[in-house]
Amino acid sequence: MPNSPQLIGLNMHAPFVNQRNSLGFIFQRETLGPQAINLVNLTYAYKFRIGESGFLSLGIQGGLFNTLTDWSKIDHLLHPEDPFYGGEDRWVTNRFDMGAGAYFQTNDFYIGISARHLTTPKFDEIQFDDEKFHSLIRRQFFLMGGYNIVLNSYLNLRPRMLMRYKQNEPFTVSTGVDLAYLNRFSLGVNFMTGLPTLTLAATVEIFEGLRVGYAFDMNFGDIGPFQRGSHEFFISYYMPIWNKVSDSEINEHFR
């Protein structure tokens, strides 16, 4: 679709101090018409050993929520006298944003819960007569889980599910499955409710640490007749900055 929304994300994280602590960095930029939303967050997580093969991680993130609304990108304003336009070409807002989550994993399955935008950042605030108006980003809550089924020495089947709740938006459930070969190649299919979308995806590990992938989304909701699907590309790289730690050393740290 012409002038369709665009989303760019960058996520980096690494463990330190006996593998119990982790620091991360998240950058996200979303453009929607005349508005650009930028998120810059730092994350910290601490990991606990649970049982023989389980780990519980508790994390928190905080940072900057920035919005830029540039009305000069609109070719024609239907009602330029509208008080919500405000008469200014550029609106810039900076707010503090934070989130938190918990994640439990074993060799066979994982489950996690998290919340974003706990501070409900407000932006595009204007004064009209004696009243103030603003937009805001409401809190989002996520619940996810997955399981790893070993079919044989070459193939793994990995079903998964993700649920999301946000006030004034459809409750969505995303469920799918991946088939992995030697943990280097994978093919997957996913279906999301609420805004019904079918996704087909493929990933490949080119060499140790470097993965690339592609996904195609097809929407079956009301917007379906007006679009031809969307394309997603991703690349990730695991960079061993320090010497590799053996499993026995990690187990020793978590005793």
Q: Write down the pLDDT at residue 243.
A: 57
- H helix or E strand, kind and range, residue 247: helix 247-253
pTM of the complete model: 0.79
CATH of 1-120, one of 2.60.120, 3.40.50, 2.40.160, 1.10.3470: 2.40.160
Q: Which residues contact 10 (CB under 8 A, 6 or more apart)?
A: 25, 26, 27, 28
Per-residue model confidence as pLDDT tens digits over 70-113? 877 776 666 666 655 655 678 888 999 999 999 999 989 999 99
**CA 44, CA 214: separation in Å to the nearest integer?**
29
Tens of pLDDT, residue by residue over 160-211, are 999 999 988 889 999 999 999 998 999 999 999 987 899 999 999 998 889 9
Q: Which residue from 67, 75, 16 is spatially nearest to 45, judged by alpha carbons?
A: 16
Q: Tokens standing for 127?
A: 């004064």
Tens of pLDDT, residues 105-155 = 998 999 999 999 999 988 877 766 777 777 888 999 999 999 999 999 999
Q: If you average pLDDT over every residue of the chain, what do you get?
A: 87
Show me where the domains of the chain are located: 1-120, 148-255
The pLDDT score that the predictor gives to residue 98 is: 95
